[in-house]
Amino acid sequence: MKLKQKMTMLSMFLSGAMACVLIAISLISFRQFSLATARDHVRTAAEIVRVSLTEAMINGVIGQRESFLKRLAEVEGLQVARVLRSEVVARQFGEGLSAEHAIDEVERRVMESGQPFYGIVEEGLAPIFRGTIPFIATSTGQPNCLQCHNTSNGAVLGAITIQVSMESLQRKALTTIIIMTGIVMAFAVVLTFIFRRQLSPVVSTAVEVQQVVAKAKDGNFDGRIQYKGKDEMGDIALDFNRLMEHLHDSLGAITRDVSQLMHYQADGNTNLINTTTEMVETLLEIAQFKQAVEEDRTRAEVYLRIGLLLKEQFGMKSFTIYEVSSQGMNHMKPVIVDGEPDSTCRWCTPEVLFQADSCRANRTGHVIDGVESRFICNQFKPPPHQGGLAHICIPILHSGSVGNVVQIVMERAHGRLYQLLLPFITAYLREAAPTVEAKRLLDTVRESALRDALTGLHNRRFLEEYVATLEATTKRKKGCLSVLLMDIDHFKEVNDVFGHDVGDTVLRVVAKALAAQVRTSDMVIRYGGEEFLVVLQESDDYSGEKMAEKLRQAVAAQKIPVSSGIMRKTISIGVAGFPSHGDDIWEVIKCADLALYSAKRGGRNRVVNYTLEMSKEGSS
């Protein structure tokens, strides 16, 4: 029900209630007035009868009292006028008329108690009011009752019963009530009209407030209340309009600031409340996400967290996170593919892995929207059986250059949804970028500390950090390791004769030859000075001797240019196995060192396997 209808109903109810109350009060008042009037009439008539009878007794015409009572009964409205004698009078003057000793119960009580009775004896359309009044003997006044009646003072001499009709009074009362009711109803109508007229501005203002608030719930704060009055409602309307203007300006400013922070272009028709709330909630989630990635230990964990974000937060199933090489090489590699770490390239041509500048997002540093422009990137090559796909590639900048590229793959029909999500995804990635960059730098610094600057091989410190993991992995897989410790023959002579520059060249050539012969799963380490260590990861049998011979021949075949021509160098290699020659790798390296000593003592440029006798000879 509308407010205006409620106010009308309220005014009508109040007017009706007031009319009912006034009518009820009038009815009660008129009833009491009618009863009081009837009582006064009865008492007046009874007094007239008493006086008349007294005069008739004094004048000796008491015998005519019956005709007097009949004439009295003919008075309009007077229905009964009957005089009764008490026993005292009857004993003194006789029974009198027959009507004077036909006493009913009310009259008997009145003459016994000496108290008058007044009341309605018949209800209905014409109620009858009865009054039975006793005549009390008194010794005062003129004439004195005791002069004629042989009785005591205060004795009941008799009673008179008078009944009058209240029809006339009732008719007049009803007429008066009808007139009053009409006046009250007219007053109620006028009051309702005035009430509605006075409340109309309030109702109109309330309706306008409702409309403006309804718009505000939808994010539209342009609504205003059009009330020009100078009263309190005018002040309310003015303050309300100021509030709406303040909300419009404040929320608009907040939305613009948050939009700029998130690089999100809010539509002018968007719901300011919902949009601002969503963006603020997103900023809070982004802050929590940023804190989480900052607490991750490695950048691999950060990449996994980003993949989990894309998969669970944004519901993406197909995506790739690429890491662009920061070592000056034109390479990039997929670190997360569809939520799986270290997977193969799935949505682009393999060319982008070795020619990173062929990736348009990496080359330009701009978002590449394959939804908007279908053929914008020729490197996007989904599997043939998965047609109708589109992609969006987002570059992540590290200190001004692209450090990562996040590629999102979706069905083209869902492309618009992902375009809407793009600002939010970009905000997450932008917050994660400094952490990824910092962890990459830390990894680079750590990697440089674990590599030999001259040869580019891992150094002994790397082995010290990795040895526990290597042992545990080998034992868990129930595999074995071949440990090859080698030394460049007569290397000191190279430094002494040709200088340290040539010596460094020899070290680089030997390191390159060794690295070229082993697998990616094997390790080549510059162990110290001219010593190198190669660790071969075997499955179930040792092949260290064969690989050692291969390495020896590869080094011997290298031609090293010097000022006097071409130099060739050889190496001596000692071979031992883990866990057959020791319970830990350091013990096995000592065994390989004994074998290397045996190779050098046996003439150099050879491979020697470790035997138990070597340990006995070394201890002796």
437 within 8 A of 403, measured Cβ to Cβ = yes
The tally of domains found in the chain comes to 3
Domain boundary among 116, 146, 171: 171
Tokens representing 515 are: 């690295």
Look-up of token digits 């009074």 = 169
Whether residues 469 and 338 share a domain: the answer is no
Q: Can you tell me whether residue 571 is helix, strand or coil?
A: strand
HSE (CB half, 13 Å, CA atoms) of 421?
16
Measured CA to CA, the distance from residue 129 to residue 115 in angstroms comes to 17
**Pair 493, 440 in one domain:** no
Average pLDDT, the chain: 83
- Answer yes or no: do 369 and 389 share one domain: yes
pLDDT tens, position by position, 305-360 = 999 999 999 999 999 999 998 766 789 999 999 999 878 888 999 999 989 999 99
* Helix (H/G/I), strand (E/B), else coil: 620: coil
Query: Does 206 reside within a domain?
Result: no
Quote the tokens at residue 567: 């130099």
In a domain, 308, yes or no: yes
- Alpha carbon 490 to its chain centroid, in Å, reads 78
Residue of higher predicted confidence among 258 and 401: 401
pLDDT digits (tens, 9 = 90+) for 487-527: 999 999 999 988 999 999 999 999 999 999 998 889 999 99
- HSE-CB at 583 with a 13 A cutoff on CA atoms is 0
Dihedral angle, C-alpha 362, 363, 368, 374, nearest 10 °: -120
Higher-pLDDT residue of 572 and 614 is: 572
- Which domain does 164 fall in, by range? 18-171
CA atoms within 13 A on the CB side of 566: 5
Confidence at residue 174, expressed as pLDDT on a 0 to 100 scale:
78
- Which CATH number goes with the domain that contains 110? 3.30.450.20
- Taken as a whole, the chain contains a residue count of 620
What's the predicted TM-score (pTM) here? 0.52
Tell me what the mean pLDDT of segment 436-454 comes to.
82
Whether residue 439 is found in the same domain as residue 485? no
Query: Helix %, strand %, coil % for the chain, to 5?
Result: 55, 20, 25
Please say which residue of 171, 202, 236 terminates a domain: 171
Indicate whether 463 and 488 sit together in one domain: yes
**Over the stretch 205-225, which tens digit does the pLDDT of each residue have?**
777 787 778 777 776 777 788
Note whether residue 178 is domain-resident: no
Cβ atoms of 164 and 127 closer than 8 Å: no
In whole angstroms, what is the distance from residue 378 CA to residue 214 CA? 50
User: Comparing 4-8, 9-13, 374-378, which segment has the lowest mean pLDDT?
Assistant: 4-8
Going from the C-alpha of 399 to that of each of 363, 394, 402, 503, 553, the distances in angstroms are 15, 16, 8, 39, 46
Task: Return d(Cα 340, Cα 350) in angstroms, integer.
Answer: 18
User: Directed axis angle between helix 299-308 and helix 415-449, to 10°?
Assistant: 170
If you average pLDDT over each of 156-170, 232-246, 324-338, which comes out highest? 324-338
**Phi, psi of 158, deg, nearest 5:** 165, -170
Mean pLDDT within 126-153: 77
pLDDT band at 141 (very low <50, low <70, confident <90, very high): low
Please identify, among 136, 171, 206, the residue that sits at the C-terminal boundary of a domain.
Answer: 171
369: CATH: 3.30.450.40
Distance CA 323, CA 353 (A): 10
| Closest listed residue to residue 206, CA positions, set 230, 231, 225, 232 | 225
Structural domain contains residue 181: no
| pLDDT in the model for residue 62 | 65
**b/e map of 568-591 (b: 16 or more CB within 10 Å)?**
ebbbbbbbbbbbebbeebeebbbb
Q: Is 569 in a helix, a strand, or coil?
A: coil
